[in-house]
Chains A and B, each alone.
Chain A
Amino acid sequence: MALSFPIYMDYNATTPTDPRVVDAMLPYFNDKFGNAASRSHAFGWTAEEAVADARAQIAQLIGAAKPKEIVFTSGATESDNLAIKGVAHFYQSRGKHIITTKIEHKAVLDTCKRLEKEGFEITYLPVDKSGLVSVDAVRDAIRDDTILVSVMLANNEVGTIQPIKEIGALTREKGILFHTDAVQGIGKTPFNVQDMNVDLASISAHKIYGPKGVGALYVRRSRPRVRLTAEVDGGGHEFGMRSGTLNVPAIVGFGKACQILNDEWVDEAKRLRELRDRLLHKVTEALDELSVNGSMEHRLPNNLNISFTYVEGESLMMAIKNVAVSSGSACTSASLEPSYVLHAMGVSDDAAHSSIRFSVGRFTTEEEIDYVADLMIEKVNKLREMSPLYEMFKDGIDLKSVQWSAH
């Protein structure tokens, strides 16, 4: 099959909407346009029924006991906000301590920072050099006033999969609520809120071949029944937890995307792993001085994060401008700070500047992998020829011994 450009290898950022999902959504823009909250006529009933079906499809994918444990939101950022602020505000009379990790998505970290300003205390757990949180560290951080633990299922930058089942067993034993940002892991690694004793889980449609602008928060209804203080007030939609007219077409698409994953994710994950490993194998065969960031064992099958030492990430992305990837380099961010995730893993700033994240997905082909691998090899070699650091390394100079002028 002929290649078409640009090639997309940034599936951890977002995914294209699956054509089957688009087909499922279309009738709900015009023929079936009703408001799901209209109880008095057929337009409303049709919309309500579609939303109920989507709730069931999503509940099934994550192993929720009841469809009504799914609360629709505008996306995972809102889900993270609702879970953490909602629990904090409802349970603050019990305690004001929350445990999370240093490598969470900003939607969790910035929510926690906001709560700190309100007088909550947050423990940000470190990760080891492979990007994993230890269950013992969670145990040691738990205090009498701890009300919530929030640990992501899988990291968006390095794809590391956290020990959610073990943490869930611990928080259940201690009687503390457990939230996980499951956005990156859904449909790529096993996830079941019952088996894993998860009480709240954030998920997003656009990471799983559904539309943008819709997400959900799983909120456990029994043993324990989780209570939340709503962040958005209004008509009392979504069981009073999130007011606002439901985005029915997007919700239908979200449900369809989950149903597809239910049927296909195990095979898909296997295929993605083969593609990812093929890319890794090809570049490591041809290039020296590479380091893979994050555990290869506990990792999403579609993610690869490599530091191409002595080459700066943004210039490498310019060199492969027909390929969409992302970088932990500061030069790609507005803040000029290199990736905080890599920093938390103890990856040096030099290596963070040289890091590229490849994430493959449903529409990635073997031809694309081969093209990208060959291109990476060619461009890394070219940029290394231009790199004073690579020349110094080849001359046997220890770069750590050089007195650099920080600027």
Chain B
Amino acid sequence: MAYSNKVIDHYENPRNVGSLDKDDPTVGTGLVGAPACGDVMRLQIKVSDDGVIEDAKFKTFGCGSAIASSSLATEWIKGKTIDQADEIRNTEIVEELNLPPVKVHCSVLAEDAIKSAIADFRAKQEASRALTGE
């Protein structure tokens, strides 16, 4: 498989690998994919009071383009508001990384991971608002 230089760069120097505390109320965690399909992504965001993504971390089990897609996703969403991050489309990832057609599903998974992390964060916020009776 001939990968673009951008995929190779993200693969060899992945940005933002790691974990955030999933129990922290300001952290949202998305876990998407399945081991049997050959790719699993976990993407986490830490969101400030004004809704800006202060930090993002990922861990990915998958091929080179899955790792690159998730690395790129964390890079893009950092500093964005959660609403802006929610608007990132997989096609933008495909374009940026020059993914071949057989690897498009990796970008879909990265978009899902962002959405899933945001949804988790929002659900936590809802739950804490309900608790404090706001």
Minimum distance in angstroms from A229 CB to a CB of chain B:
39
A58-73 interface (Cβ within 8 A of B): none
Interface size bucket, A side? 20 to 34
Minimum distance in angstroms from A296 CB to a CB of chain B:
25
Known pairs A334-B102, A386-B17, A404-B33; A353 contacts B38 (CB<8 A) = yes
Q: A404 and B34: CB pair below 8 A? A: yes
B80 at the interface (CB under 8 A from A): no
**Binary B-proximity of A353-393 (CB < 8 A = 1, otherwise 0):** 10000000000000000000000000000000111111100
List the A side residues contacting B19 at CB < 8 Å: 391
Known pairs A315-B62, A388-B31, A407-B109; A348 contacts B36 (CB<8 A) = yes
In the complex, A174→B34 CA distance in Å? 48
Interface positions of A (Cβ within 8 A of B):
310-312, 314-315, 318, 329-332, 334, 336, 338, 348-350, 353, 385-391, 399, 404-407
Q: What are 27 A-B interface contacts by the 8 Å CB criterion?
A: A312-B38, A312-B61, A315-B11, A315-B63, A315-B64, A315-B67, A318-B3, A330-B38, A349-B35, A349-B37, A350-B36, A353-B38, A386-B17, A386-B59, A387-B59, A387-B60, A388-B31, A388-B60, A391-B19, A404-B33, A405-B33, A406-B36, A407-B33, A407-B34, A407-B37, A407-B108, A407-B109
Among A311, A330, A334, A349, point to the contact of B61 (Cβ < 8 A): A311
Q: A314 and B33: CB pair below 8 A? A: no
Least CB separation from B19: chain A residue: A391
Q: A405 and B41: CB pair below 8 A? A: no
In the complex, A93→B32 CA distance in Å? 56
B14 at the interface (CB under 8 A from A): yes
Interface size bucket, B side? 20 to 34
Interface positions of B (Cβ within 8 A of A):
1, 3, 8, 11, 14, 17, 19, 31-42, 59-64, 66-67, 102, 105, 108-109, 112
Q: A405 and B61: CB pair below 8 A? A: no
List the A side residues contacting B109 at CB < 8 Å: 407
Among B8, B38, B41, point to the contact of A388 (Cβ < 8 A): B41
Minimum distance in angstroms from B28 CB to a CB of chain A:
15
Least CB separation from B31: chain A residue: A388
Minimum distance in angstroms from A208 CB to a CB of chain B:
29
Known pairs A312-B39, A353-B38; A387 contacts B61 (CB<8 A) = yes
In the complex, A205→B63 CA distance in Å? 34
Q: A318 and B108: CB pair below 8 A? A: no
Among A310, A314, A348, A386, point to the contact of B1 (Cβ < 8 A): A314
Q: B39 and A386: CB pair below 8 A? A: no
Among B3, B38, B61, point to the contact of A310 (Cβ < 8 A): B61
Q: B63 and A314: CB pair below 8 A? A: yes
Minimum distance in angstroms from A392 CB to a CB of chain B:
9
List the B side residues contacting A330 at CB < 8 Å: 38
In this complex, the member of B3, B32, B38, B102 whose beta carbon has the largest number of chain A beta carbons within 10 angstroms is: B38
List the A side residues contacting B37 at CB < 8 Å: 349, 406-407
Minimum distance in angstroms from B40 CB to a CB of chain A:
6
Known pairs A314-B64, A389-B40; A350 contacts B35 (CB<8 A) = yes
